[in-house]
Amino acid sequence: MLKNLGKDINLDMTRVAEAQIKKSLAQLTKYAEDCGRTQQESVRRTTDALKKGGADWTTAIQSVHQVVDRLGPDLEVMERRISGINRDGRNITLRTDADGIVKSGAVVSNATLAQQKRDMQEINNLYKQEEQQLRAIWSLKDKLLTARTDSEADAIRAQIRERETLVSTLREERSLKTEGHNTVAKDNSVRILERELQLRHDIKASAEQSKQQVAEVTRLYQEEHRIVQQIAALQNKLPTAGKDRSEIERQIQNQQRLLELIQQQRMTASVGMDTTRLDGMLAKQQQSLAGMQELKDAATQTDQIIKHITKTIVSMVTIYATKAVRDFWKDAIEYAKLYYDQLNEIRIVSGMTAAEAEQFGVKLRKMARDMQVSSTDVAAGAVTYVRQGLPTDVVEDRLENTVRYAKIAAMSFTQASEIITSATNAMEVSAERAVDVFIMMGDSSATSAMEVGTAMQRTMSIAKEVGVSFEWLAAYISTISAKTRQAPETIGRAMSAIFSRLQSIKAKGFSEEDETSVNDVAKALDKANVAIMENSKWRDFSDILEELASKWSTLDDKTRAYIATTMAGTMQRDRMLTLMSDMARGAEGGSQAFYLYEVALNSAGIAQEKYQVYLESVQAAQGAYKTSLEELYATFLSGENIKGYYNTITGLVTLLTQGLQVTDGWTLKLPA
């Protein structure tokens, strides 16, 4: 199957897979050998210790059960515990120093041995369960490679997360039970198994990726071949095209541009593959088609040149004289139709009269002229805000801030208006305040105003419910974005998930995600001596975080992970840790979150200041030119003019139709 998969592009997939497998097995073998050498070294050290220790004890150990080393900070042996059977057949335990000199000893009772045996049975059972879950996890990851739909992939990822949580639980339980037992061999066995499963998965992933690459490159070659044939067919029509020649030439140009695009995509997709044979075949095909076309063109070239020169001289003046007028009229009609349709939509939604809508339109065009943007863009934004039932003065204010945000952040009017609407409705801040904060965050951190707004749009509605202010939310998101550089949509969904989790715990007493209760959160925060309640009421989330940050550096890593998991959930724990690690430095210690919060509080007027700089750009000058043309269109082509034009055409068509009905139609005869 692997050979057939790559034969069309001269690529032996068997060799690719074989090389990947050999590489993976070599890594696994080296890992196993390292573990084996570790075990051999432990046995050698144990033997040396027994030889030295036996001289100090009358009952030397004859058989060894286990050896446990205690290591110092430099990973050197500080003390060794050796358990075995002495010459009298009794169980004995020796403690030696790093040089093997016996420091103390004790005889172990049969009851203690029995308990140790039971402990080892439980430990072995935990190891067995862990191995089963690891196999299941990597099996699900293999299945994820061939998932056909997003829903199927999400279901598989949910199963993987569930089993990974179970593995973490098993390991925590095992770590409590293995104290005092020698489990080096078992630990090595589990690590080897996990490494083996990962390498097998990597092999499957590599094969699947190679398969998809081959399929995509083959498809692009076929598409390129088809376009070349279409271009050749169009070129064959040129000698006899007559008046359709310009249309055919336009089609050829379009196909050539499409061919260049396909070739670029094919070169990108075929990185790392040998496509020499297919490239040669395609080049020969293009040369053959070009040669045939040259022969056909040569037969009629002289006649066509004479006709073309004659027609060009006669029509050139007419073409250039009328083109400008035609284009101007076309642009004017399109502008008038779009602009007055938008005004009419505003009338329908708001209930304005025709005179009121016209007056409102004058204000919109003045705003567009002052801000050097298209009046149709401003009118489209006005439709969005009027649909929200806002009065005209509020609409005008939001439009001005939408224009500033869209131009400074280099985003569309639609996206900017949606983000501003979310901020004003969910966080109850003014449009001007929202835009100032977005732009200031983009200028003060390694992110952008568009990214901050996009992320906040997905979490503002729930942030206020848990007591997070607009400025703190902007600081949290900007900090995580700058440190992780994840997509703004991802960060927004993550913060929304954290807030929704806490809101669910606050409202219902528990989280539906993992049944974490209020008491669990309170218990976790109590580890840092932080209270979740104040006067029997939930404290604001930002206040909790600020107090927790002041004590974060006093906690160990395990406690930090416990608190982050309990508050944010397993899926969002890493982002919680990222934020807390930054806030733990404090305002005076260089915390970016505290710095951005202060910056957000003092961001008033930044948007207007930045927009004045924008007005000095080439893009703004181009916008001013377009606005002046739109003013010209609106001067001599009103909505009434457009309606009158179309009504007149409609009347002529209706009159012609009625005439045909009266005369019982016309009979047309086409010559053979």
pLDDT tens digits for range 174-194: 777 776 666 776 777 778 888
Predicted confidence at residue 542, as pLDDT, reads: 87
Express as a percent the part of the chain with pLDDT over 70: 63
The answer to whether position 217 is within a domain reads no
Please provide the average confidence, as pLDDT, over all residues in the chain: 75
Predicted confidence at residue 62, as pLDDT, reads: 58
To the nearest 10°, report the CA torsion of 540, 542, 547, 551. Answer: 130
Characterize the bridge pairing of strands 91-97 and 77-86. Answer: antiparallel
Structure-model confidence comparison of residues 571 and 42, the more confident one: 571
* Mean predicted confidence (pLDDT) in 649-661: 65
Task: List, edge to edge, every strand of the sheet that includes 91-97.
Answer: 61-71, 77-86, 91-97, 102-107
The answer to whether position 608 is within a domain reads yes
* Mean predicted confidence (pLDDT) in 558-569: 87
Most confident of 30-39, 452-461, 628-637: 452-461
Predicted confidence at residue 2, as pLDDT, reads: 45
| Token pair for 641 | 């003019």
Domain end call among 150, 181, 208 = 208
Whether 205 has a pLDDT exceeding 70, the answer reads yes
Structure-model confidence comparison of residues 652 and 509, the more confident one: 509
Predicted confidence at residue 56, as pLDDT, reads: 42
Most confident of 162-176, 182-196, 497-511: 162-176
b/e 131-159 (16+ beta carbons within 10 angstroms → b): bebbebbbebbbebeeeeeeeeeeebeee
pLDDT in tens, 221-238: 778 878 888 888 888 887
Residues 415 and 452: beta-carbon distance below 8 Å:
no
| Token pair for 559 | 């406690």
The answer to whether position 482 is within a domain reads yes
Q: How many domains does the chain have?
A: 2
* Mean predicted confidence (pLDDT) in 56-72: 56
Domain end call among 189, 208, 227 = 208
The span from the CA of 125 to the CA of 127, in Å, is 5
Structure-model confidence comparison of residues 275 and 536, the more confident one: 536
SS3 content of the chain, % helix, strand, coil (to 5): 75, 5, 20
- 165 pLDDT tier (thresholds 50, 70, 90): very high
The answer to whether position 31 is within a domain reads yes
If you write DSSP's letter for every residue of 60-126 in order, what string do you get? -EEEEEEEEEEE-TTS-EEEEEEEEEETTS-EEEEEEETT--EEEEEEPPHHHHHHHHHHHHHHHHH
pLDDT in tens, 104-118: 565 555 566 677 677
Predicted confidence at residue 646, as pLDDT, reads: 58
Express as a percent the part of the chain with pLDDT over 90: 5
Whether 6 has a pLDDT exceeding 80, the answer reads no
Predicted confidence at residue 595, as pLDDT, reads: 92
Whether 619 has a pLDDT exceeding 80, the answer reads no
Residues 61 and 82: beta-carbon distance below 8 Å:
yes
Predicted confidence at residue 73, as pLDDT, reads: 46
Predicted confidence at residue 321, as pLDDT, reads: 46
pLDDT in tens, 387-406: 888 888 888 888 888 888 88
Predicted confidence at residue 181, as pLDDT, reads: 65
Structure-model confidence comparison of residues 177 and 641, the more confident one: 177
The answer to whether position 378 is within a domain reads no
Whether 74 has a pLDDT exceeding 50, the answer reads no
Nearest to 135 by CA among 196, 187, 185, 188: 196
Predicted confidence at residue 298, as pLDDT, reads: 47
Stated pTM of the model: 0.47
Q: Which residues pair with 93 in a beta bridge?
A: 83, 106
- 478 pLDDT tier (thresholds 50, 70, 90): very high
- In this structure, the number of other CB atoms found within 10 A of the CB of residue 587 comes to 14
pLDDT in tens, 294-331: 545 544 554 555 455 545 544 554 555 456 556 666 66
Domain end call among 597, 613, 629 = 613
SS3 510: strand
pLDDT in tens, 130-150: 888 888 888 888 888 888 888
C-alpha gyration radius of the chain: 38
**Helix pair 13-54, 184-237: axis angle to 10 deg:** 170
The answer to whether position 150 is within a domain reads yes
* Mean predicted confidence (pLDDT) in 167-179: 81
> 95 is in which domain, residue-wise?
2-208
The answer to whether position 167 is within a domain reads yes
Structure-model confidence comparison of residues 618 and 668, the more confident one: 618
Predicted confidence at residue 295, as pLDDT, reads: 43
